[in-house]
Amino acid sequence: MSGRPLGRRFYTRPTLDLARALLGTWLCREIEGHVQRGRIVEVEAYTHDAAAHARDRRRTPRNAVVFGPAGHAYVYFTYGMHHCVNVVGERDGEPGAVLIRGLDGIPGANGPGRLCRVLSIDRALDGADLTTGQRLWIERGRHREPIVQTTRIGIRHAAELPWRFYLAGSPGVSRRDRAAEPLSAASRRDSAPAGAQPRR
């Protein structure tokens, strides 16, 4: 399961493409020499849409990480109780991040706040370089489950956009969309290796 961190090129792609590519990869967290790994099974994409922290491409000290470079972690604190970790994509200057919502292989990591709590991810990791293999990184993985595409959760704006993706049948998914799952099962099964490099 262990391997090298994914390189910068992997992350430098459109946010929706990055969201799908992250499914099946392994999120790795190192604390005092001990590494925990969870397979990414649920994500949400955010760009400059109305639900994003970088809506209308507005840059602030809080969201500056989202504008690049790609391959960094964007960690924020929400509702006064939860941290959430995102993976920054896109080319420099273009906002885009993928929220990690669920992991397989780590008990209690089904939900963005839960996985951050289990892995001790907080604002100290905001801006962390995911390509160095230190503290927090992502390794290549693989999946054979169909990808379910549906709407995002817990937002008031742009709630109609189908920018949540998850692996069908995974116990690490925070919330299933049973109406969307038959559509995904009927479509072509996506069995490409997770973490594949984007095409030029």
pLDDT of residue 195: 64
Range of the domain at 61: 8-194
Q: Is residue 162 included in any domain, yes or no? A: yes
The reply to whether omega before 146 is within 30° of 0 (cis) is no
Q: On the CB side of 121, how many CA atoms lie within 13 Å of its CA?
A: 30
The residue type found at 167 is L
Q: Give the whole-angstrom CA distance, residue 165 versus residue 19.
A: 7
Residue-wise pLDDT for 88-101, tens only, equals 999 999 999 999 99
Q: Is residue 188 included in any domain, yes or no? A: yes
Q: Provide the mean pLDDT of the chain.
A: 90
Residue-wise pLDDT for 122-142, tens only, equals 999 999 999 999 999 999 999
User: Which CATH number does the domain housing residue 109 bear?
Assistant: 3.10.300.10
Q: Is residue 133 included in any domain, yes or no? A: yes
Q: What is the CA radius of gyration of the chain?
A: 15
Q: Is residue 101 included in any domain, yes or no? A: yes
Q: What residues form DSSP beta bridges with 136?
A: 29
Residue-wise pLDDT for 156-196, tens only, equals 898 899 999 999 999 999 999 888 887 766 554 444 456 66
pLDDT of residue 169: 92
Structural domain count of the chain: 1
Q: Report the predicted TM-score, pTM, of the whole model to 2 decimal places.
A: 0.89
Residue-wise pLDDT for 25-61, tens only, equals 999 999 999 999 999 999 999 998 888 888 878 899 8
